Amino acid sequence: MKEKGLYHKIFLEIIPFRKWFIVALLLSIFVSILGPIRPFLLQYIIDHFITTFNKEKLISYSMLLFGLLIIESFLRYFFVFITAWFSQNIVHSIRTRVFQKLIGIHVQLFDQTPIGTLTTRTINDVETINEVYSENFFTIISDFLTIIIVLSFMFYTDVKLTLISLVTLPLLYWATYIFKEKVKIVNQKIRDKISEFNAFTQEHLTGIKLIKSFTAEQLELQKFKKINQEQTDLNIKAIWYYSWFFPVLETLIAISVGLVVMGVGYFSLNESGYTAGMISSFYLYLNMLFRPMRFLADKFNQLQMGFVACERVFKIIETPNKENDLGEIELSNPKGNIHFEEVTFGYLPEKEILKNISFEIKAGESLAIVGATGSGKTSIINVLNRFYPIQKGNIKIDNISINDIKIASLRNHIGMVLQDIYLFSGSILDNIRLENKSFGIEKAMQMARDLDIQDFFEQLPGGFDFQIQERGNSLSHGQKQVISFLRAIVKNPSILILDEATSSIDSNTEYYIQKLVQNTIKNKTSIVIAHRLSTIISSDKILVLDKGEIVGEGTHAALIQSNSYYKKYFKELESNTN
């Protein structure tokens, strides 16, 4: 039943390109028919025109034979081209849908699945799907038809010789079956190992600085060697199966040809009727019969690997979108009033991170969230953006539940500057504007002047055209943070979220960041995960978290007098600053 469901999904991918599928199918049929006609025609030419020295007929029938060969060659050309076009368009469609699914799916998938594995699904597995829709699929059909047609011609030509030539067929089937099953198992293991290999490589190249800082190069190299050796062993095992299968096939084919030769010799001594044309055509028939048998098992395995890849890729495409975007409200110029009502949340339902959290931020106010690591500060940001669903309670913006708001509309009105800054390869301008292509270089320069930070970009070669390397490695942390600020500002959000991580940047860059904070936080509702005394003190309200619970709420002046948690946290922060 599971396989039927998979085959149904595979068939559904064909429907948008069904016209080309039918054309490719018809071409495979024509090619399979034209091939066996040539030996039959050759037999007729030898027996009727060469042996009788009929020159005129020989020339005309030879031209006919040559014409059939030309037609077959053209049909094969179109067959290869159309099947390749057909399969690549399906692969293109599937790859687009996989990536569209990945960028639109809930972030929990990325918490649970290594990025390297998802990369394998998007690139390697999708490319392997090509085997299902490619020339291999149609060639298998064509080869089966060729075998049936060739056998029909052989039986028509001589039943006894045909039966003799098929003596080795049971052995051929047995060898092919063993080969197909063994290679299928090995290829599945190879696919799994490739996925593990990609995940390991991506993870370790991303964390290369950490590896170097702990001088763990040799330890990680040994792990790599282990995975590499396992994959090499599997590939060698697959090669070993190929190395015995093809010689066995060739031996069985040679035995069949030898048996036919012996049969011709034996029957020629006892009866007449075996003409030169018949013997020549029979030899060609044998080649046409066994040639597809050489490769059918391998093509079946490639097709099977395509089915495995299809199953993995369709699993991603069909993964439920756990964001549950059922909201219908489109926010229009929201004021930015935020209200958490007894919110309970955990990344795992059985392990609560936020416990009955309730607080309110009025439009235009700034809220500083303080607390120890693991107290739930980042979780508040995550649930406000609906990156994760809450288990209990409600979150409202302007008295509207965020579950009733379209996710895209909600996030369009929230700007985020987080501690873990991610920049894409490309220019600074591309990273600032992202999807807003109407935001050109003139607007960027004007915005920098309005925010009084134009000289920051003048220090960079090329200014806004400065090319950023992967993950922003060509920039300092502070420079990346300035770009991240501008990226959030370009959205013109009503709510601004800041993970204020300025402890590790130089004083010059900090100057620009403070300018940005002062100039952008005005008239916006802001939530700041605070790490600096000045930010905490200047906030309209402070939220003190401890182990997922609110243990203090109010102004700095009120909390420093009455809240022991806050007093302890503030003193620790003060001592670290000094």
What single DSSP character describes residue 470? G
Query: 3-class SS at 418?
Result: coil
Query: 3-class SS at 503?
Result: coil
Task: Name the token pair of 393.
Answer: 């309670």
Q: Is 356 left (phi over 0), alpha (psi -120 to 50) or beta?
A: left
pLDDT, residue 505, reads 57
Q: Is residue 435 over pLDDT 70?
A: no
Please report where in the chains the tokens 């022991």 appear, as a residue. Answer: 564
User: Which phi and psi (to 5°) does residue 435 adopt?
Assistant: -80, -10
Cα torsion at 437, 107, 365, 444 (round to 10°)? -20
d(CA 71, CA 27): 12
d(CA 382, CA 366): 18
pLDDT, residue 479, reads 78
Helix axes 217-270, 276-317, angle to 10 degrees: 150
Q: What is the pLDDT of residues 14-31, one digit of tens each?
A: 888 888 889 988 988 888
pLDDT, averaged across the chain: 81
300 vs 525, residue with greater confidence: 525
Whether 384 contacts 413, CB under 8 Å: no
d(CA 426, CA 428): 7
Burial-class residue 341 by CB neighbours within 10 Å (0-12, 13-18, 19+): middle
Beta-ladder partners of 427: 467
Dihedral of alpha carbons 469, 203, 388, 527, sign: negative
d(CA 20, CA 161): 40
Whether 540 contacts 553, CB under 8 Å: no
Mean pLDDT on 251-256: 82
pLDDT, residue 270, reads 58
The amino acid at 349: P
Whether 97 contacts 310, CB under 8 Å: no
First to last CA, the chain: 69
Q: What is the pLDDT of residues 212-239, one digit of tens each?
A: 766 777 888 888 888 888 888 888 888 8
User: Which of 477, 472, 535 has the alpha carbon at shortest distance from 504?
Assistant: 477
Please report where in the chains the tokens 């028939």 appear, as a residue. Answer: 285
pTM of the model: 0.71
What single DSSP character describes residue 422? -
Q: Is residue 113 over pLDDT 60?
A: yes
pLDDT, residue 501, reads 55
Whether 361 contacts 541, CB under 8 Å: yes
User: Which of 296, 299, 281 has the alpha carbon at shortest distance from 249?
Assistant: 296
- With a pLDDT cut of 90, the percent of the chain lying above it is 8
What b-and-e string marks burial along 190-211, b requiring 16 or more CB atoms within 10 Å of the CB? bbebbbbbbbbebebeeeeeee
Most confident of the following: 62-66, 170-174, 350-354, 496-500: 350-354
Q: What is the secondary structure of 61-121 as a DSSP string?
A: HHHHHHHHHHHHHHHHHHHHHHHHHHHHHHHHHHHHHHHHHHHHS-THHHHHS-HHHHHHI
Q: What is the pLDDT of residues 392-423, one digit of tens each?
A: 999 999 999 999 999 888 988 888 887 777 77
d(CA 136, CA 233): 27
- With a pLDDT cut of 70, the percent of the chain lying above it is 89
Q: What is the CA radius of gyration of the chain?
A: 36
- By residue count, the chain amounts to 578
Residue 447 burial (CB count, 10 A): 16
d(CA 525, CA 397): 11
Domains of the chain and any CATH numbers: 2-317 (1.20.1560.10), 338-577 (3.40.50.300)
H/E run at residue 48:
none
| Residue 43 CA to its chain's centroid (Å) | 54
Max CA separation in the chain (angstroms): 121
pLDDT, residue 341, reads 94
pLDDT, residue 1, reads 43
Enumerate residues 6+ apart whose C-beta is below 8 A from 267: 160, 161, 274
Task: Name the token pair of 59.
Answer: 């020339």
